Structure 1
Amino acid sequence: MMDAFERFGLLINDRVVRTPIAIASMAGIVDGAFARERAPHAGIAFIGGYSIDEPAMKAAKAVAAGGDRKEFLCEDPVGELKKQIAILDGSTLIPAINLRGTTPEAFASVADALGDSVVYEIDAHCRQPAMVDAGCGEYYLKNQQKLTAIVRALKAKGVTVSVKIRVGVAEDDRVLARNLWAAGADILHIDLMDSGSAKLRQIRNSVPLLIIANNAINTFDRMREMLSHGADMVSLARNADERTLSGLDAAITRYADEDGWYNSPKQLCRGGDIRSLTFCCMPVKECPLIPALNRMGIPKDDYIALKLNSVKGTLLDGGQQTCFGSLAWCCKTSSPCMFRDMTLKQTGISKKEYMRLKRDLSDTIMGRVFHDVPSDESR
């Protein structure tokens, strides 16, 4: 799995993620067997959703009785979850469980029973009326204090927490994301609906959490669109068939091996997210960089010092022949630049290695931007 870590650099629950593709939960469908069959072409599987307390179970039975949707109906959810998780033992899939419940105590109780070997995903996504009326799913997006209370209850158990959300339901998805970060969430699993990459970029610019983008991602072009606007991974549900998964897995692996940075952002001046500061030149002219720095509260001199200090002693430190005398200020390899390419050739740096170094620089910049965890605005 070390090749996978070198290729994608992804760790979840202290395990290497084999590929940046997740299997998303579908109630009544995605169980251990469903996920296990797809293990060769996915990195993490969210089984569920499973209802874990009486109000959620009652809602699940009402949904199933309607005849239009399936549900996992079990009187002993902990026992059933143990059985389903065991099916994934020995596979390269990281196990995750999508849970529907109405109280922090219900989630904490499951964590006590199952321990820290799985990722716990709070379902704040389901929009079935019975679930919402019971205080589950989308209910949490309009009652964020209750959602963050569940995050804190799970984090108190020392487990990894994902939150599955649907954009366009909360009053401000950026505030929601920051509240979840403040509460301790590790992963945001985002159903983008019809909002596209602009909403994803806004959320990426708001939090440093691992982001999984979801909704109609069934082609490599769509996958790259999500990755280039801030996603670390993508997830599939209805399109999680072997042909689609294997095609995406092969394509992103090939792209990573050729480019060096599998989810490299677009440049800032072309609509890129905050990670693209790694490709920006010195702030010496009016361009999107200046307002971006102003929004982040980073003075221009601090930004210059940050980039130059971050590349000291690395292969990006050189580049006297480039526009600003250092590869720290050079753009993405997809943008033609004779001075950058000449410097790379003279110093023996491949374009793939250059992009990996730019990814490292981006991580450093992100660490500076998101140094302080915000207060929970929903309290």
Structure 2
Amino acid sequence: MMEAYDRFELLINDRVVRTPIAIASMAGIVDAAYVLERAAHVGAAFIGGYSIDGPTLDASRQMAEEGRKEFVYDDPVTALSREIDALKQSDVVTGINLRGSTPAAYAEIARAFEDRVVYEIDAHCRQQPMIEAGCGEHLLRHPGDLIAIVRALKAEGATVSVKVRAGVAENDAGLARAVWKAGADIIHVDLMDFGHNKVRQIRNASPMMLIANNSITTFEKAMDVFSHGADLVSLARKSDPWTLAGLDAAITRAAEEGGWYNAPKQICRGGDIRGLAFCCMPVKTCPLLPTLEKIGLSRNEYLKLKQEAAKGTALDDGKSTCFGSLAWCCKSSTPCMFRNMTLENKGLSAREYMRCKHHLSDRIVQRIFDAEESTDESS
């Protein structure tokens, strides 16, 4: 698994994610047996959705009577325990997609399983019985209820994912910020028809791990959302072994060749804020300036932030480059004789350079959001 970590540098719930591909929940379909059949080519899986209290179990029974596939049982803890135990034999990081009507219902499940799984709040289901029970899309239209559930799970020490459907909340980026500030660790977004622009909006709104979902079944589609901010992609109806195997092989090959599997586009080409790692000094009018204004950084603050983040790394120098440091250099896919000459003189491959840029980006983004949290706490 350390080879997988070196390749993708992904951890969920303190476990290595072997590939940035997940299986998304489908009620009545995705259980332990479903995941185990596909385990060779996924890094994480969200089983469920599982109803966990009286109102949502009643909703599941009503939906099953109407012909939908549902997991129906009398005791949620017993049913979930059986599934979680079955997945012990796999190295797939397990998440359980839950549908409850109160924060207390989620907290009770978290007390039962502690840190064995990721707890995913289903704010995604659009079936009317579930909405009437107070979960699914109800939570997107009543974000205060969603935040209360996040806080209840975090009070139990849980790793929390929030599964949402884009375009339902009043403002998806605002919702992402709110659940991040409440303590959520992951946002799992069904993009619907919004595409990578929605990914970029949410990426720029919070530092949470971001899983992109909906019809991402090819390498090209996966790379599109990766380059705009996704950390993982998830598949539901098309999570067949053949599709998963093809995606896994292609993404792994890209990571080994490029060094940063989800490297962002440069800011000047529509990239998210991770692309600040590729920006030069703010000496001319370019898309960097409105980006800095949008995130509340002055030019001097940006200069200081990037210089401090690069200090002591392989990017800290580079006298032959335009600004005297590789920290200000662009993406390896952009032709530049000065950058390439500097890399050659330092004995740094393009792949290693991109790994360094990845780490630089992580430092920059984390400091931006750490500063925002500090400002919120002091206000």
Q: How far apart are the structure 1 equivalents of 2:197 and 2:106?
A: 32
8 Å contact from structure 1 (residues 160, 186) kept in 2: yes
Q: 5+ unaligned residues in a row in structure 2: which ranges?
A: none
Residue 93 of structure 1: aligned partner: 92
State the Cα deviation string for residues 87-140 of structure 1 (Å, max 9, x = none).
Answer: 111211111100001000111111111221110000000001111122110000
Q: How far apart are the structure 2 equivalents of 1:375 and 1:74?
A: 47
Map 1:58-137 to 2 at 5 A. 58-67=58-67, 69-137=68-136
Residue 337 of structure 1: aligned partner: 336
Counterpart secondary structure, 1:40 = helix
Counterpart secondary structure, 1:370 = helix
Bigger Cα displacement from structure 2, 76-85 vs 306-315 = 306-315
Residue 159 of structure 1: aligned partner: 158
8 Å contact from structure 1 (residues 269, 287) kept in 2: yes
Q: How far apart are the structure 2 equivalents of 1:206 and 1:267?
A: 18
Residue 257 of structure 1: aligned partner: 256
- 2:39 equivalent to 1:35: no
Counterpart amino acid of 1:25?
Answer: S
State the Cα deviation string for residues 188-223 of structure 1 (Å, max 9, x = none).
Answer: 000000000001100100000000000001000000
- Counterparts in 2 of 1:12 and 1:65: CA distance versus 1, 3 Å: same
Residue 368 of structure 2: aligned partner: 369
Residue 322 of structure 1: aligned partner: 321
Counterpart amino acid of 1:127?
Answer: R
Counterpart secondary structure, 1:282 = coil
Counterpart amino acid of 1:308?
Answer: Q
Residue 205 of structure 1: aligned partner: 204
Q: CA deviation at 1:161?
A: 0.5
Q: CA RMSD in A?
A: 1.1
8 Å contact from structure 1 (residues 181, 373) kept in 2: no
Counterpart secondary structure, 1:373 = helix
- 2:54 equivalent to 1:54: yes
Residue 139 of structure 2: aligned partner: 140
Q: CA deviation at 1:313?
A: 2.3
Residue 190 of structure 1: aligned partner: 189
- 2:187 equivalent to 1:181: no
Counterpart amino acid of 1:138?
Answer: E
Q: How far apart are the structure 1 equivalents of 2:270 and 2:294?
A: 15
- Counterparts in 2 of 1:165 and 1:374: CA distance versus 1, 3 Å: farther
Q: How far apart are the structure 1 equivalents of 2:312 and 2:267?
A: 26
Q: How far apart are the structure 1 equivalents of 2:186 and 2:180?
A: 9
Residue 6 of structure 2: aligned partner: 6
Q: CA deviation at 1:33?
A: 0.3
Counterpart amino acid of 1:14?
Answer: D
Counterpart amino acid of 2:228?
Answer: H
State the Cα deviation string for residues 36-66 of structure 1 (Å, max 9, x = none).
Answer: 1111100111000000011101111111111
8 Å contact from structure 1 (residues 178, 374) kept in 2: no
Between the aligned residues of both structures, percent identity stands at: 62
Counterpart amino acid of 1:343?
Answer: T
8 Å contact from structure 1 (residues 21, 249) kept in 2: yes
Q: 5+ unaligned residues in a row in structure 1: which ranges?
A: none
Q: CA deviation at 1:373?
A: 2.9
State the Cα deviation string for residues 66-96 of structure 1 (Å, max 9, x = none).
Answer: 11x2000111111000001111112111111
Counterpart amino acid of 2:91?
Answer: T
Counterpart amino acid of 2:42?
Answer: A
Counterpart amino acid of 2:20?
Answer: P
8 Å contact from structure 1 (residues 182, 375) kept in 2: no
- 2:232 equivalent to 1:237: no
Residue 280 of structure 2: aligned partner: 281
8 Å contact from structure 1 (residues 50, 72) kept in 2: yes
Q: How far apart are the structure 1 equivalents of 2:375 and 2:296?
A: 17
Q: CA deviation at 1:338?
A: 1.0
State the Cα deviation string for residues 253-295 of structure 1 (Å, max 9, x = none).
Answer: 1111100001000000101000000000110111110011111
8 Å contact from structure 1 (residues 182, 374) kept in 2: no
Q: How far apart are the structure 1 equivalents of 2:7 and 2:46?
A: 23
Residue 308 of structure 1: aligned partner: 307
- Counterparts in 2 of 1:375 and 1:243: CA distance versus 1, 3 Å: farther
Counterpart secondary structure, 1:263 = coil
Counterpart amino acid of 2:29?
Answer: I
Q: How far apart are the structure 1 equivalents of 2:110 and 2:315?
A: 45
Counterpart secondary structure, 1:70 = coil
Q: CA deviation at 1:300?
A: 0.6
